[in-house]
Amino acid sequence: MFEQIFRTNILGRPAVVTADPEINNYIFQNEGKLVEMWYLDSFSKLLAQSGESRTNVFGIIHKYARSLTLTHFGSESLKERLLPQVENIVSKSLQMWSSNGSIDIKTAVSIMVCDFTAKQLFSYDAENSSDKISEKFKKVIDAFICLPLNIPGTTYHKCLKVIKIK
C-alpha cells in the first residue's frame, strides 16, 4: 500500500502525494481527523485570512464546495440527469469546432466545461449571454493558484490592485 505514497515539498511546504484510488478514498474518509487541509498562501492572502480564522474559513468553504459538488455532480445525478446533457453539449461543441480551421483544445474544453457547470449551478446561458463567465472564472483561478508575490506584473499583484480598488 505505501509504495504508492511519496513525500515531497510543494511550494516550500511538506506534502504527501498519492495517485492510488484506495489511499485517496481513505484520506477523504478521514478528512479533518488524520490529514490537514492546506491551500496555497495566495488563497489566505487574497481572502485576508490568517491564523485560526484561516483554517475555519477554508473548512467552511471546503465543506460548502464539496456538498454543492456532490449534490449536483454525484454519481446518481450523473447517470440520471447530467449524462444526456453532457452528451448534448459535447456534440454541439464538436460540431461548432469542426467549422473552425484550428482550435486550442485545452482552452475550448475548459470553456465548455465551465459554461456547462455554470449552467447547472446557476442557470447561466453561454449562448445568449454577452458576459463570458469562463474568462472571469479563469482569472479568479489564476489568482488563487499563483505564487503570492506582490511584484508589479505578477498575477497576484494585479489581483491585489483589483481588491484595493473595490
How many C-beta neighbours within 10 Å does residue 2 have?
A: 8
Q: Confidence band (pLDDT; 50, 70, 90) for 83?
A: confident
Q: How far is it, in rounded angstroms, from Cα 56 to Cα 63?
A: 11
CB 146 within 8 A of CB 41: no
CB 59 within 8 A of CB 37: yes
pLDDT at residue 165 greater than cutoff 60: no
Q: Strand pairing partners for 7? A: 16
Instruction: Select the more confidently predicted residue: 1 or 139.
Output: 139
The residue extents of the domains of the chain are: 1-36, 74-130
What value does the mean pLDDT take over residues 55-80? Answer: 66
Instruction: Select the more confidently predicted residue: 108 or 165.
Output: 108
Q: How far is it, in rounded angstroms, from Cα 38 to Cα 12?
A: 12
Provide the pLDDT for residue 5: 82
pLDDT by residue (tens digit) across 19-62? 888 887 887 777 767 776 666 666 666 665 555 554 455 566 66
Provide the pLDDT for residue 166: 46
What value does the mean pLDDT take over residues 73-97? Answer: 82
What value does the mean pLDDT take over residues 148-152? Answer: 85
Is pTM beyond 0.75? Reply is no
